[in-house]
Amino acid sequence: MNSERLLIYDTTLRDGEQCPGASMNLREKMEVARQLARLGVDVIEAGFPVISQGDFEAVSAIAREVRGPIITGLARCVPKDIEAAARAIKPAGKRGRIHVFLGTSKIHRQFKFGKARDEILRLAVEGVKLARKYCRNVQFSPEDGSRTELDFLTQIVEAAISAGATTINIPDTVGYATPKEYGAMFAHVIANARGARDVVFSAHCHDDLGMAVANSLSAVQNGVRQVEGTINGIGERAGNAALEEVIMALRTRRDAFTSVEMGVNVREIMRTSRLVSRMCGFVVQRNKAIVGENAFAHSAGIHQDGILKKRETYEIMNPEEIGWGVTELPLTKHSGRHALALRLKHLGYRLTDRDLNAVFARFKALGDKKKFVYDDDLGTLVDERAFEASEVWSLDYLSVTAGTGLVPTATVRLKKRAGTSGAPSSYEDAGTGDGPVDAALKTIDRITDRRGKLLDYQLRAVSAGKDAIGEVTIKADFGKGLILTGKGASTDIIEASARAYLNAVNRTFACSKRIARAASGS
C-alpha cells in the first residue's frame, strides 16, 4: 500500500493564543513561526486578521518573512473578515490560504445565528466563493461539525467543495466526540459527499474530554490527510490536540498508520515545545507526554534496571530523536561575541546587531554570576530582549530586607522610557508586604500607577546547578477583564519576580486601547 502525505497544520498562533493569558506580541509570534518552519509543519495558521490590528500585522509579517509552510488567515463567512485575511496573507503569494468557518450544528443554528439550514448553506457557499476570488487555496470549516446532523454536514461539505474549497476541516469544536464517532463521521462524509475525493479532509480536535489526540488519530485512519493542533496542546478551555503527541504517535506506531507519511523534523520537537512555553508563559506539566520533564524519567528500581539492560523495555521512543538529551558545550563568561552569535544562530534565533549587543551585555553579566551559561539560559536572555523595545518601565535597582522578626521591605528604582525628546526619568519608592516578593510588587504598583492582582506565580530553574537562572512566570488581573502574563529571569528569584511583574505591567500599556474601550463600556 502506497503511503500518502499527511499535512501537519499548526494553529498555536491562532487557536493556541486564544487561551486566556497566552497572548504573544509580534516578536514572540515571529520567533514561534520561524521555529515551526524549522520543525517542518506544512501549514501555519498565523492568526485571525480581522479581530485586531495586532493580529493583522502578525499574519502579514509571518506571510512576508517565514518561508516554507503555507500561511493561513482565519475568517468567518463574512466579507470584511475574508477581505482582511486576503490582505494579510498576500505577501505569502501562492503559499497563502484563507480559512473560512461557519457554525453548522443545530445548537449553533438556533441559538448563535437564529438561521435555518438553507440560510447557513447559502452563507457558507458565498463565503467560500468570495475567498476563492482572492486565493486559490481555501479551507472551509463547519464549526461544531461533530455535533452537526450527518445529512446536513454532508450537504454543506458538498456545497463548499462545489463552491471551490480545496480543504475541508470538520472540527470537534467542543471536544464532544469519541474516537469511534469522529472517525465514522469522516468515513461517512468522504463516502457520500460529491467531490470529496478531490479535496483534503482535515481534523481539528479540542481536548475537553481528554480525547483530542485519540480523535485526531481515528480521523487519520478514516481518510483524513491533514491534522490540526497546537504545540503543547495549548488552546481555549482544555486546549487543542497536542501536535507533538499526534506526530510521535504516528511515527512510533507506523504499524498502525502505514497509509501516511510526514515531513516533520522530529529533532526540533523539544526546542519548539520549550520556545512556545517561554513565549506564552505556560509551563509544560511535568507528566505531559513527549515533552514533559518526566516523559522519559524512571524512578522505580525495576524500570531503571530494565532501561540499563535494554532501553526498549520501558521506552517506546528514543528521547534523543526528539531533542531530549542533546547537550551542547556551555558557554562561559570568557566566551566572545562571535561564539555567542554562532550559538544563537544554531539555536534558531535571528538577531539584529543591536539586539545581539544587548543580549551579549546580559550574557556577560550572567557569566559573572554563574560558571556556565547553557542554551536554555541563552533562550531566556533572548526572550527578555524581545520585550525591551516595548518597555515603558525598566528595573534599575532593587533591594529587599526580610527575615524572621523583620517586616519585609523593598526599595525599587524604575526608569521610565523617554518621550520624543529627553532622557529617561528615574523614580524610586519603598514599601512593605507579606514577603519580599509582595513588597517589591506593591512598590512597583505605586511607581507605575498600575494595580495588578496576582492570580498565578510559577518559578522554575532554567538550567542545572545551584547557580541556575530562576525564571518566574506570573499571571495578573489588572481589572476590566485584562489578564496578562509576565516573565522575568535572574539568578536572584526576587529580582526575577519583579522583572516578571514589570513585564506584565508594561503589557498593560501596549493594551491601552483595550483598557480605554473597557472603561468606556464600548
Tell whether 79 and 224 lie within a shared domain.
yes
Domain assignment present for 322: no
Give the position of cell 519608592.
429
Mean pLDDT, range 51-56, rounded to an integer? 92
Tell whether 75 and 139 lie within a shared domain.
yes
Tell whether 24 and 72 lie within a shared domain.
yes
* pLDDT value at residue 135: 96
pLDDT classification of 303: cutoffs 50, 70, 90: very low
* pLDDT value at residue 515: 44
The whole-angstrom separation of Cα 383 and Cα 487 is 9
- Amino acid letter, residue 469: I
pLDDT classification of 350: cutoffs 50, 70, 90: confident
Domain assignment present for 295: no
Q: In terms of residue numbers, what domain contains 426?
A: 390-520
Tell whether 236 and 219 lie within a shared domain.
yes
The whole-angstrom separation of Cα 422 and Cα 463 is 40
Domain assignment present for 190: yes
Give the position of cell 536554555.
376
CATH code for the domain of 268: 3.20.20.70
pLDDT classification of 422: cutoffs 50, 70, 90: low
The whole-angstrom separation of Cα 4 and Cα 20 is 37
Asked if 203 and 247 touch (Cβ cutoff 8 Å), the reply is no
The whole-angstrom separation of Cα 414 and Cα 435 is 20
Domain assignment present for 158: yes
Asked if 485 and 475 touch (Cβ cutoff 8 Å), the reply is yes
pLDDT at residue 466 above 90?
no
Domain assignment present for 286: no
Domain assignment present for 298: no
Pseudo-torsion of CA 304, 305, 310, 314, nearest 10°?
-40
The last residue of a domain, from among 246, 265, 280: 280
Tell whether 378 and 404 lie within a shared domain.
no
pLDDT at residue 512 above 50?
yes
pLDDT tens-digit readout, 58-92? 999 999 999 999 999 999 999 999 999 999 999 99
The last residue of a domain, from among 237, 256, 280: 280
pLDDT at residue 295 above 90?
no
Domain assignment present for 510: yes
When the pLDDT of each residue in the chain is averaged and rounded to a whole number, the result is 88
Tell whether 379 and 454 lie within a shared domain.
no
Mean pLDDT, range 305-328, rounded to an integer? 67
Q: Which of 115-119, 217-221, 479-483 has the lowest average pLDDT?
A: 479-483
Mean pLDDT, range 19-31, rounded to an integer? 81
- Most confident stretch, 212-216, 300-304, 507-511: 212-216
* pLDDT value at residue 332: 81
Asked if 42 and 8 touch (Cβ cutoff 8 Å), the reply is yes
Q: How many domains does the chain have?
A: 3
* pLDDT value at residue 519: 42
Tell whether 84 and 221 lie within a shared domain.
yes
Tell whether 127 and 105 lie within a shared domain.
yes
Tell whether 183 and 213 lie within a shared domain.
yes
Residues of the chain with pLDDT > 90, as a percent, come to 59
Cell numbers at 453, concatenated: 492582582
* pLDDT value at residue 419: 62
H or E segment and range at residue 440: helix 436-448
Domain assignment present for 290: no
The whole-angstrom separation of Cα 186 and Cα 468 is 50
Q: Is the pTM of this model over 0.85?
A: no
Tell whether 261 and 116 lie within a shared domain.
yes
The residues, any chain, with a CB within 8 Å of residue 274's CB and separated by 6 or more, are 291, 376, 379
The last residue of a domain, from among 280, 297, 328: 280
CATH code for the domain of 426: 3.30.160.270
Tell whether 421 and 369 lie within a shared domain.
no
Cell numbers at 425, concatenated: 526619568
Tell whether 381 and 423 lie within a shared domain.
no
Provide the CB-side half-sphere exposure for 497 (13 A, CA): 23
